[in-house]
């Protein structure tokens, strides 16, 4: 019986310890004293409120309550801080914020009110920066997001039949500046509308512009062929010493032939040269038609190879109509791929992977001459930036232009 009694006492003691551990840090159930001397600094669509904390052992944090677009919101700041940020306001109207001191037992003090007046929200600044121009197959819009943060730029197209706006596309970004294009539109004059929205559903007005997209068509991939064994005179430049002489064909892995690069499959195996080749690596291509190229899109090898391995980092595209004349080649485009996250090699974010999945698009300069033959000059890959040796792979490429 003594053993059983001792066991029951142990169980009771453990239960008491568990109950003690789950109790509030403060045994005082009283609400803490309120904060005092609140003041604010206006911010874009927000305000920073500073205050004096009470000398109260019960204080755990400060809670700010306010409204955004008719919905009650709150934000908290621990007792280590002397400020709290309230945000999400879509205009500069004066607003009331209630500040509460809250105890460890979740008891709130009486509210202290402060009236704040935010600066114009970030969406207004972005909206004023929008610059829209005609582009191939659509329009191109540049923007500046000076104050940062996630925004959405919506694109509308006026429907003459229904006498109403049709929503056409959304562009999501947190970048401080950039540009984007919407495509797939006929080369006829149309009225476009653009607006900016933030994550609190604040909207700007709609900017209206009337533009005519520039005609283009996707080049027929069935006509595109490999030019590596056609004895063309590619203008190999420094550091290779073979300028003006036929290139040494780099070869490819057997399961990654040239044709995979133009088979319409953006998720399977693509084109992959053999490895440890002198960089730059030249890939000559016969487009099958003469075209004034407008833009192109490439899909990297995805997964663990995103922004790594043999995916292109820096490249040039050269063009000609007389590929055996080394002096006829002209530079059509030069690029260095940008990784959205800016993280080191081997580290990627969801945004990085989304860019790889969706493909990356680049426009040719507007004065690009019409050519039939191009050569992709692979300067380096992500795994061999500025390296003398390397290799090249992509899953898919698409070219658009005006066929002559």
For the domain that residue 159 is a member of, what is the CATH number?
A: 2.60.40.10
Domain identity same for 284 and 321: yes
Domain identity same for 337 and 222: yes
Query: With DSSP H G I counted as helix, E B as strand and the rest as coil, what are the percentages for the chain, rounded to 5?
Result: 15, 45, 40
In this structure, are residues 45 and 198 in contact, taking their beta carbons and an 8 Å threshold?
yes
Domain identity same for 136 and 240: no
Position 388 scores a pLDDT of: 82
> Is residue 108 in a domain?
yes
Phi (first) and psi of residue 128, to 5 degrees: -70, -20
Domain identity same for 330 and 354: yes
Domain identity same for 164 and 233: no
Position 278 scores a pLDDT of: 79
- Among candidate residues 58, 81, 116, the one where a domain is terminated: 116
> Is residue 15 in a domain?
no
Domain identity same for 200 and 338: no
Position 195 scores a pLDDT of: 98
> CA 335 to CA 220: how far, in whole Å?
24
> CA 236 to CA 282: how far, in whole Å?
8
Domain identity same for 227 and 203: no
Cα 331 from chain centroid (whole Å): 28
> Is residue 21 in a domain?
no
The total of structural domains in the chain comes to: 3
Position 233 scores a pLDDT of: 86
Domain identity same for 205 and 226: no
What does pLDDT average to over the chain?
89
> Is residue 19 in a domain?
no
In this structure, are residues 68 and 200 in contact, taking their beta carbons and an 8 Å threshold?
yes
Domain identity same for 342 and 376: yes
For the domain that residue 308 is a member of, what is the CATH number?
A: 2.60.120.260
Domain identity same for 257 and 334: yes
Domain identity same for 142 and 259: no
Residues 6 or more apart from 177 whose CB is under 8 A from it?
A: 142, 143, 144, 145
Residues 6 or more apart from 371 whose CB is under 8 A from it?
A: 287, 290, 291, 293, 319, 320, 321, 332
Position 237 scores a pLDDT of: 55
> Is residue 11 in a domain?
no
Q: What is the pLDDT of residues 361-380, one digit of tens each?
A: 999 988 899 999 999 999 99
> Is residue 31 in a domain?
no
Position 22 scores a pLDDT of: 38
- Among candidate residues 159, 188, 215, the one where a domain is terminated: 215
- Among candidate residues 163, 183, 215, the one where a domain is terminated: 215
Position 16 scores a pLDDT of: 47
Domain extent at residue 66: 36-116
Domain identity same for 112 and 126: no
Residues 6 or more apart from 8 whose CB is under 8 A from it?
A: none
Position 359 scores a pLDDT of: 95
Spatial strand order of the sheet with 36-43 comes to 36-43, 46-52, 83-87
> Is residue 199 in a domain?
yes
**Per-residue pLDDT tens listing for the chain (404 residues):** 444 444 444 444 444 444 443 334 444 678 999 999 999 999 999 999 999 999 999 999 999 999 999 999 999 999 999 999 999 999 999 999 999 999 999 999 999 999 999 999 999 999 999 999 999 999 999 999 998 888 999 999 999 999 999 999 999 988 889 889 999 999 999 999 999 999 999 999 999 999 999 999 999 999 999 998 888 888 775 545 444 555 566 778 888 999 999 999 999 899 999 888 878 899 999 999 999 999 999 999 998 999 999 999 999 999 999 999 989 999 999 999 999 888 999 999 998 999 999 999 999 988 899 999 999 999 999 999 988 888 999 999 999 999 99
């Amino acid at each position: 019986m003594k053993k059983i009694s001792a066991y029951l006492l142990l169980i009771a003691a453990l239960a008491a310890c568990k109950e003690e551990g789950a109790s509030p840090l403060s045994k005082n159930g009283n609400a803490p004293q309120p904060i005092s001397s609140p003041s604010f600094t206006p911010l874009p669509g927000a305000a920073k409120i500073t205050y004096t904390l009470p000398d109260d052992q019960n204080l755990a944090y400060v809670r700010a309550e306010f409204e955004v677009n008719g919905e009650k919101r709150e934000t908290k700041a621990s007792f280590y801080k002397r400020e709290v940020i309230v945000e999400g306001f879509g205009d500069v109207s004066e607003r009331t914020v209630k500040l509460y001191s809250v105890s460890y037992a979740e008891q709130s003090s009486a509210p202290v009110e402060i009236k704040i007046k935010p600066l114009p929200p970030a969406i207004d600044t972005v909206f004023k920066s929008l610059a829209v121009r005609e582009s191939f197959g659509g329009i191109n819009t540049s923007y500046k997001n000076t104050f940062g943060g996630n925004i959405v730029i919506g694109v509308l197209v006026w429907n003459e039949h229904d006498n109403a706006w049709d929503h056409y596309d959304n562009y999501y970004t947190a970048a401080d500046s950039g540009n984007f294009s919407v495509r797939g539109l006929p080369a006829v004059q149309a009225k476009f509308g653009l607006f900016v929205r933030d994550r609190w559903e604040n909207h700007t007005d709609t900017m209206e512009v009337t533009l005519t997209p520039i005609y283009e068509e996707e080049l027929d991939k069935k006509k595109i062929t490999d030019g590596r064994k056609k004895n063309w005179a590619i203008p190999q430049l420094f550091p290779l010493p073979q300028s003006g002489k036929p290139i040494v064909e780099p070869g490819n892995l057997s399961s990654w032939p040239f044709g995979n690069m133009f088979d319409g499959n953006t998720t399977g195996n693509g084109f992959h040269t053999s490895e440890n080749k002198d960089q730059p690596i030249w890939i000559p291509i016969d487009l099958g038609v003469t075209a004034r190229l407008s833009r192109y899109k490439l899909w990297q090898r995805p997964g663990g190879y995103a922004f790594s391995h043999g995916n292109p980092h820096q490249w040039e595209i050269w063009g000609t109509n007389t590929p055996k004349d080394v002096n006829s080649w002209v530079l059509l485009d030069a690029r260095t791929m940008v990784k959205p996250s800016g993280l080191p090699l081997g580290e990627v974010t969801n945004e990085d992977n989304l860019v790889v999945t969706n493909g990356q698009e680049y426009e040719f300069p507007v004065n690009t001459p019409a050519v039939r033959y191009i050569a992709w000059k692979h300067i380096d890959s992500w795994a061999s930036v500025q390296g003398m040796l390397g290799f090249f792979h992509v899953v898919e490429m698409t070219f658009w232009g005006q066929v002559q």
